[in-house]
Amino acid sequence: MVRPPGFGPGLTAWKADVLNQARLRPQFNASIRDSVASRLKFLKILCGIRKIYHALSLLSQQRLQTMRAVKAVVFDFIGTLATVEDYSYENSEEKLYQSLCKAGFDVERAGFVEAYEKAHQKYRAIRYEELVEVTNAVWISEALNMLGLKTTPKDENVCMAVSLFFEDYIRSLKLRPHATAVLGKLSPRFALGLVSNFTYAAVVHAGLEKLGIRHYFRTVLVSHDFGWRKPSFRVFREILQRLGVAGEEAVYVGDSPEEDIKGAQSVGMKTIFIPSQFYGFEDLEGAAVHPDFKITDLAELLQILLPFRTEK
C-alpha cells in the first residue's frame, strides 16, 4: 500500500489512491479501513495545528513590527525591576512608634495603632478611588491629632518617623534577574523613564541609587512628587511629555494589570506585562486586560525591542 506523504499536494492524491483500493479489493477489510481513517484524521489534526502555528507566527511578527516606532521605554519599579525580600511591616511599624515616642509624643501603643489604621484606611480610599496621592506623614499626623496632640504633616519629628519607617523597606529591595544588563542594553538606544506609585518619593530615589540603576533613566516620576497615581492618564501623559514622545512611540513595562497596563493603554502606549511577586498571569486574565506582549523574564525585552533599534 502507498505510504502517506508529509504535507502538501501529494496528500490529496494519496487519500484518493487509498480509498480507491478500499473499494476495489475485497480483502481490504474493515479493520484496515478503520486504520486508514484514523491516520487520515490524525493528518487533518496535524494540518490544523500547522495552520494555527502559522497564524500565531504571523500575529507575533505583526506585533513585533509595531515596535519599529518605539523611541522610549518606561518601566514600573517595585515588582517589575525590583523585588521586596525579607521585609517585616510589623518591624517598620514598631520603628515608627518608637521614633514618635522619642520625639516626645506621649501616646499608648495600642491607641496609636488603632488611630493610625483608621487614618490610613481613610486616605487609602482617597488614593485608590480618586487616584490622588497622599503621603504617610498626612495620616500619621492625623492619627496623632486624633489622640489629642497637635501636629502637621510637615512636623520634623513626623517626617523623621516616616524616614525610619521605610529604612528596612529600602534595604529589602533586590534587583530582578537581568535587570541591570537589560537596562544597559536599552539605554543607548531608547529614552528610558520610570514611573512608581509610592507615598514617599525618597524611598524610590534611595532604592534606585542603592540598586545602582538610577543613571539609566532620563526621568523618574513618583506619585508622591507628582500628586496623581497610576492608572490616572495624567501620570502617563506626564511621562510622555518628559520624554518628548507620543503614546505610539513608547512602550510601558509593568506588573500590574490595572495600574500599569490599563493605565498606559489609556494614552496609546504599547504595553508589556511581566508577572511578579505581587501579580500573576491569572490577575491579567481576571482584569480582562490585553497587553501587546507577555514575558516572564526581563531578558525577553531585548528580543522584542532590539531588532529595530540601533544605538543613538
Helices (H), 25-155: 30-65, 89-102, 109-129, 136-146
Average pLDDT of span 172-197: 98
Task: Give the pairing type, strands 173-175 and 82-84.
Answer: antiparallel
pLDDT of residue 58: 43
3-class secondary structure for 238-293?
Answer: HHHHHHCCCHHHEEEEECCHHHHHHHHHCCCCEEEECCCCCCCHHHHHHCCCCCCE
Separation between Cα atoms, residue 235 and residue 256, nearest integer Å: 15
Taking the model in full, what pTM does it have?
0.80
Question: Per mean pLDDT, which range of 28-42, 158-172, 240-254 is the poorest?
Answer: 28-42
Could you tell me the CATH superfamily of domain 69-85+173-308?
A: HAD superfamily/HAD-like (3.40.50.1000)
Task: Count the neighbouring beta carbons within 10 Å of the beta carbon of residue 60.
Answer: 11
Question: What is the pLDDT at residue 2?
Answer: 42
pLDDT at 56: 41
pLDDT at res. 71: 96
pLDDT at 212 over 60: yes
What the block records as the C-alpha cell of 286 is 481576571
- Quick check: 284 and 306 in contact, CB under 8 A? no
Q: Is the pLDDT of residue 23 over 90?
A: no
Model confidence band, residue 192 (pLDDT cutoffs 50, 70, 90): very high
Model pLDDT, residue 59: 42
Q: Who wins on pLDDT, 44 or 107?
A: 107
Look at residue 166 and tell me whether its pLDDT is greater than 80. Answer: yes
Q: What is the DSSP letter of 296?
A: S
Q: Is the pLDDT of residue 296 over 70?
A: yes
- The arithmetic mean of pLDDT across residues 277-292, rounded, is 95
pLDDT higher at 215 or 312:
215
Of residues 277, 245, 278, the one with CA closest to residue 259 = 278
Which pLDDT score is estimated for 102?
Answer: 95
| pLDDT tens figures, 227-284 | 999 999 999 999 999 999 999 999 999 999 999 999 999 999 999 999 999 999 999 9
pLDDT tens by residue, 118-134: 999 999 999 999 999 99
Query: Given this model, what pLDDT does residue 26 score?
Result: 53
Output the CA–CA distances (angstroms, integers) from residue 165 to 63, 76, 168, 212, 293, in the order listed. Answer: 44, 23, 7, 22, 37
What pLDDT is attached to residue 9?
52
* pLDDT single digits (tens) 69-110: 899 999 999 999 999 999 999 999 999 999 999 999 999 999
Residue 186 near residue 193 (C-beta atoms within 8 A)? no
Q: How far is CA 136 from CA 152, 200, 309, in A?
A: 12, 7, 42
Least reliable range by pLDDT among 48-52, 162-166, 287-291: 48-52
